[in-house]
């Protein structure tokens, strides 16, 4: 099949059936193997291959348009503030959550759903990385909520109607959630989320693909909700779910993804929308006998952790090779062993081309980038980050009043990172760089002195409590310090969302930690 004949396929009704669902794309025509394309046409006409959209429904995840309000983080029991007076028994009915503005409140569990958000949530073809994120999802009106005494949900809805959730510099992402242009006109209520997802077997994939061509199976008893930047496929027949899942994780599907994906993001990343997923060809499960289906699924179950790492690294394993050859045979391709080799070579070439294209324009991107004062930007961002948090906890606040203390003298000026000696001849000593600035005697006492010097580095001496108050103070301070660092990471991720350079982000975080007396 020559190029002119391939181009003729663009004007056929089968290539462009309408409804924004092209079965064949320009890039696919130009880069695909002509010999293999001819086999595909024959297999489609004989009904051995079927497009993915003919076997079920493909749709995107829920788009909230106000993530800071609708997506909340559930707190574990040991992190719930004491002022809320919550017992473990209470947590059966409601959860204590934190929203995007760090507001802590109580919401009934029936209105909170587990969330699968972003490609990082997909650990492998069979595993989901669970998180403490929850989706606030209410389907009743306020009168019905009042009758059910759902006071937590009602209070949080009032908050969504009165509080400005400004968590981004983007002007389109601020304001009161209930009054936002893309939220207020929802039916029947402003808080009604579009795209309801019932617990059923689903196959999840990412919109953006880099090194993993991954499709993850979600069981029918999983109540998790898929959020935007992920797509979900719902098989038309429940019995076909496992077979379709295995087919989507095959070398043949990966090859089609590289052909059909849009690589114009500039970072060497593929972007796939619903039309691209719709045109993926897989073996028609209705044409595969139960015996062949079971044999294929048994081989797929023998592939170790499919999708857990870079997909191209899997291709070198014997189990993966056996599965791909068996799947090509089920599809009806001639000489599947030879075809699998050609597919692997083609896939690696396409993926390499995508990466090389990103590198080829890197210099041009740098030349167009505006020059900026990096040091000034780091200080500005660090100051902004530090202003949103309380300083690092002081261990002296955990010492009871009137407790007996012993003074530890500070022998030199604090000038650099503080470390504690743990070796035989320097246990209990505190170092600033290479200089010993204090000798506390024990490691616990040294930890206390270091924590105080974080907050007040110019002290001439530190009053260290005696046992058992010292151990209790260090334990309470360590727990509070861990909670503080978790909050710091959360706020830093939100504040530095627009900074891509990891070195700059690290410099800002280190500077902010210094301003907050945490290092």
Q: Is the pLDDT of residue 385 over 90?
A: no
Q: State the average pLDDT over residues 203-232.
A: 93
Instruction: Quickly tell me which residue has 């017992």 as its tokens.
Output: 87
Confidence of residue 371 (pLDDT cuts 50, 70, 90): very low
Q: Is the pLDDT of residue 389 over 80?
A: no
Indicate the length of the chain as a whole number: 519
Q: State the average pLDDT over residues 107-133.
A: 94
Read off the pLDDT of residues 265-307 as tens digits, 9 standing for 90 and up: 556 788 999 989 999 999 999 999 999 999 999 999 999 999 9
Q: Do the beta carbons of residue 420 and residue 450 sit within 8 Å?
A: yes
Residue ranges of the alpha helices (H) in 361-432?
362-368, 374-387
For residue 413, give every residue at least 6 positions away whose Cβ sits within 8 Å of its Cβ, in sequence order, or none: 432, 437
CA 485/CA 432 separation, integer angstroms: 22
Read off the pLDDT of residues 482-509 as tens digits, 9 standing for 90 and up: 888 888 888 888 777 767 677 777 888 8
Which candidate, 77, 73, 72, 71, places its Cα nearest to that of 92? 77
Q: Is the pLDDT of residue 94 over 90?
A: yes
Which candidate, 160, 182, 163, 162, places its Cα nearest to that of 172? 182
First to last CA, the chain: 67
Q: Do the beta carbons of residue 136 and residue 64 sit within 8 Å?
A: no
CA 25/CA 272 separation, integer angstroms: 12
Q: Is the pLDDT of residue 512 over 70?
A: yes
CA 296/CA 245 separation, integer angstroms: 12
Q: Is the pLDDT of residue 407 over 50?
A: yes
Residue ranges of the alpha helices (H) in 136-179?
142-147, 151-160
Query: Per residue, what are the HEC states of 64-123?
Result: CCCHHHHEEEECCHHHCCHHHCCCCCHHHCEEEEECCCCCEEEEEHHHEEEEECCHHHEC
Domain assignments of the chain as residue spans, ordered by start: 3-54+241-362, 67-179, 387-515
Which candidate, 484, 477, 481, places its Cα nearest to that of 396? 477
Q: State the average pLDDT over residues 227-239.
A: 93
Query: What does the angle CA 346 – CA 351 – CA 357 come to, to the nearest 5 degrees?
Result: 125
Q: How is the beta sheet containing 230-235 ordered, strand by strand?
A: 56-60, 230-235, 202-206, 215-218
């Amino acid at each position: 099949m020559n190029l002119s004949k391939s181009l003729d396929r663009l004007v056929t009704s089968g290539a462009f059936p309408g409804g924004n669902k092209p079965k064949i794309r320009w890039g696919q025509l130009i880069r695909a193997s002509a010999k293999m394309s001819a086999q595909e046409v024959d297999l489609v006409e004989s009904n051995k291959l079927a497009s993915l959209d003919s076997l079920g429904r493909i749709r995107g995840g829920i788009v909230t348009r106000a993530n800071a309000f609708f997506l909340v983080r559930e707190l574990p029991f040991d992190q719930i503030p004491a002022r809320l007076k919550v017992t473990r028994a209470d947590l059966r009915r409601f959860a204590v959550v934190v929203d995007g503005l760090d507001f802590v409140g109580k919401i009934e569990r029936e209105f909170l759903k587990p969330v699968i958000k972003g490609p990082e949530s997909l650990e492998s073809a069979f595993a989901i990385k669970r998180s403490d994120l929850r989706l606030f999802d209410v389907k009743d009106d306020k009168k019905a909520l009042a009758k059910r005494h759902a006071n937590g949900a009602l209070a949080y809805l009032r908050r969504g109607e009165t509080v400005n959730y400004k968590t981004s510099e983007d002007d389109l992402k601020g304001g009161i959630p209930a009054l936002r242009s893309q939220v207020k006109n929802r039916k029947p209520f402003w808080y009604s989320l579009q795209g309801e997802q019932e617990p059923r077997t689903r196959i999840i994939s990412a919109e953006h693909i880099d090194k993993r061509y991954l499709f993850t199976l979600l069981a029918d008893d999983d109540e998790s909700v898929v959020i935007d930047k992920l797509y979900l496929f719902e098989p038309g027949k429940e019995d076909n779910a496992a077979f379709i899942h295995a087919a989507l994780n095959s070398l043949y599907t990966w090859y089609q993804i590289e052909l059909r994906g849009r690589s114009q993001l500039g970072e060497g990343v593929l972007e796939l929308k619903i039309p691209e997923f719709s045109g993926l060809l897989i073996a028609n499960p209705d044409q595969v006998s139960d015996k062949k289906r079971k044999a294929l699924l048994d081989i797929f179950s023998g592939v170790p952790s499919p999708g857990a790492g870079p997909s191209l690294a899997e291709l070198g394993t014997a189990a993966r090779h056996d599965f791909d050859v068996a799947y090509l045979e089920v599809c009806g391709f001639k000489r599947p062993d030879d075809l699998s080799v050609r597919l692997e070579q083609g896939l690696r070439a396409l993926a390499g081309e995508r990466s090389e294209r990103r590198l080829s324009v890197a210099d041009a991107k740098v030349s167009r980038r505006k020059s900026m004062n990096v040091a000034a930007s780091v200080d500005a961002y660090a100051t902004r980050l530090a202003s949103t948090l309380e300083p690092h906890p002081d261990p002296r606040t955990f010492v009871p009043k009137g407790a007996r203390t012993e003074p530890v003298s500070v022998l030199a000026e604090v000038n650099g990172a503080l470390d504690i000696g743990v070796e035989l001849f320097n246990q209990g000593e505190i170092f600033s760089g290479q200089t010993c600035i204090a000798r506390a005697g024990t490691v616990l006492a040294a930890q206390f002195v270091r924590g105080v010097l974080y907050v007040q580095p110019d002290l001439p001496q530190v009053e260290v409590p005696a046992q058992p108050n010292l151990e209790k103070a260090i334990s309470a301070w360590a727990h509070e310090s861990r909670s503080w660092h978790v909050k710091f990471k959360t706020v830093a991720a939100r504040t530095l969302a627009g900074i891509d350079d990891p070195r700059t982000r690290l410099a800002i975080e280190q500077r902010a930690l210094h301003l907050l007396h945490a290092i």
